[in-house]
């Protein structure tokens, strides 16, 4: 009895001392079109890659075109650590991408970036 409770205590202490999983949340790793880049013609969709897998139900993107109009052409699709959304053309100029995601570690993160369309 004494031996077994001692073993339990060791197990408990090992669990306490074991670091949790790395606390990096889902941050944007890269995107297509690339963050801050210029592309010649309006992209048919924008895709974002994150540093963790996403929970599809609580992850979203909105995109506005050069005149501030929304240009999403459908719902965001999530696959693993990747999220895409189809776009309609908003012409040449600056596009703003705003994202908000829930990663599988149950943390919410958000952010935004721009890309340009034009010659």
Site of interaction with Cu ion (CB under 5 A): 25, 105, 107
Q: Give the nearer residue to Cu ion in terms of CB position, either 72 or 105.
A: 105
Minimal distance, residue 18 CB to Cu ion, in Å: 17
- Sign of dihedral through CA atoms 72, 73, 77, 81? negative
Q: Give the nearer residue to Cu ion in terms of CB position, either 75 or 107.
A: 107
Q: Give the nearer residue to Cu ion in terms of CB position, either 52 or 64.
A: 52
Cα–Cα distance measured from residue 23 to residue 8, given in angstroms and rounded to the nearest whole number: 27
Closest CA to 49 of 87, 77, 74, 84: 84
Q: Tally Cβ neighbours within 10 Å of residue 65.
A: 20
Minimal distance, residue 105 CB to Cu ion, in Å: 4
Minimal distance, residue 25 CB to Cu ion, in Å: 3
SS3 for 39-90 is ECCCCCEEEEEECCCECHHHCEEEEECCCCCECECCCCEEECCEEEEEECCC
Q: Give the nearer residue to Cu ion in terms of CB position, either 32 or 105.
A: 105
Minimal distance, residue 107 CB to Cu ion, in Å: 3
């Amino acid at each position: 009895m004494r031996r077994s409770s001692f073993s339990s205590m060791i197990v408990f202490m090992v669990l306490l001392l074991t670091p949790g999983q790395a606390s990096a949340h889902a941050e944007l790793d890269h995107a297509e079109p690339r963050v801050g880049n210029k592309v010649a013609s309006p992209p048919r969709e924008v895709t974002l890659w994150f540093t963790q897998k996403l929970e599809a139900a609580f992850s979203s993107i909105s995109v506005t075109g050069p005149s501030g109009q929304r240009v999403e052409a459908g719902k965001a699709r999530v696959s693993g650590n990747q999220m895409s959304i189809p776009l309609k053309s908003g012409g040449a100029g600056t596009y703003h991408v705003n994202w908000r995601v829930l990663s599988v570690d149950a943390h919410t993160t958000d952010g935004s970036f721009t890309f340009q369309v034009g010659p």
